[in-house]
Amino acid sequence: MKLLNRKNFTKNKYPTKIMQFGEGNFLRAFVDWQIDILNETTDLGAGVVIIRPIDYDTLPLLNVQDGLYTTIIRGLNEQGEAVAEHRIISSVNEEIPVYKEFDKYMALAENSELKIIFSNTTEAGIEYIDSDKITDAPAKSFPAKLTQWLHRRFEFFNGAADSGLVIIPCELIEYNGEKLKEIVLQYCQLWKLSDEFISWLENANDFCSTLVDRIVTGFPRDEHQALQEKLGYLDNFMVTAEHFHLFVIQGPAHLAELLCLEGSELNIKIVDDISPYKERKVAILNGAHTAMVPLAYMANIDSVGEALSEPLFEQYLTALIFDEIIPTLNLPKDELQAFANDVLNRFRNPYIHHRLIDISLNSMTKFKTRILPQLLKYSELKQVVPKMMALAIAGQLFFYKGERNDEKIALSDSEEWLELLNKLWRSYDEKSLSVEQLVEEVLAAQWHWDSNLNDVPNLTTQVSEYLSELLTHRVNYVLAKTLKGK
pLDDT score, position 123: 77
The residue type of 422 is: N
Q: What is d(CA 453, CA 385) in angstroms, rounded to the nearest whole number?
A: 12
Using CA atoms in the order 298, 302, 303, 307, what is the torsion angle rounded to 10 degrees? -50
Distance of CA 77 to the CA centre of its chain: 19
Report the relative pairing of strands 407-408 and 403-404 from DSSP bridges.
antiparallel
Alpha-carbon distance of 291 to 386, in angstroms, equals: 12
The ranges assigned to domains in the chain are 2-271, 275-484
Query: Quick one: three-class SS letters along 406-450?
Result: CEECCCCCCHHHHHHHHHHHHHHHCCCCCHHHHHHHHHCCHHHHC
Closest Cα to residue 266, out of 240, 241, 247, 242? 247
**Distance between CA 12 and CA 6 in Å, rounded?**
9
* Among 323, 289, 267, residue whose Cα is nearest residue 483: 323
**Identical fold between 2-271 and 275-484:** no
Please tell me the distance from the alpha carbon of residue 129 to that of residue 211, in angstroms, as a whole number. 26
Give Cα separations from 12 to 2, 297, 342, 354, 411 (angstroms): 19, 49, 33, 37, 51
Provide the 3-class DSSP secondary structure of residue 158: coil
Instruction: Profile the chain (486 residues) by mean pLDDT over runs of 10 residues.
Output: 95 96 96 98 97 88 97 90 94 97 98 98 90 97 98 98 97 94 98 98 98 95 96 98 96 97 95 96 95 97 96 97 97 95 94 91 92 97 97 98 94 94 97 97 97 98 98 96 87
**CB 342 within 8 Å of CB 244:** yes
How far apart, in whole angstroms, are the C-alpha atoms of residue 345 and residue 288? 13
In this structure, which CATH number among 3.30.300.130, 1.10.1040.10, 3.40.190.10, 3.90.25.10 belongs to the domain 275-484? 1.10.1040.10
Which pLDDT does position 79 carry in this prediction? 82
Q: Phi-psi region for residue 133, left (φ > 0), alpha (ψ -120 to 50) or beta?
A: beta
CATH domain 2-271 topology: Rossmann fold (3.40.50)
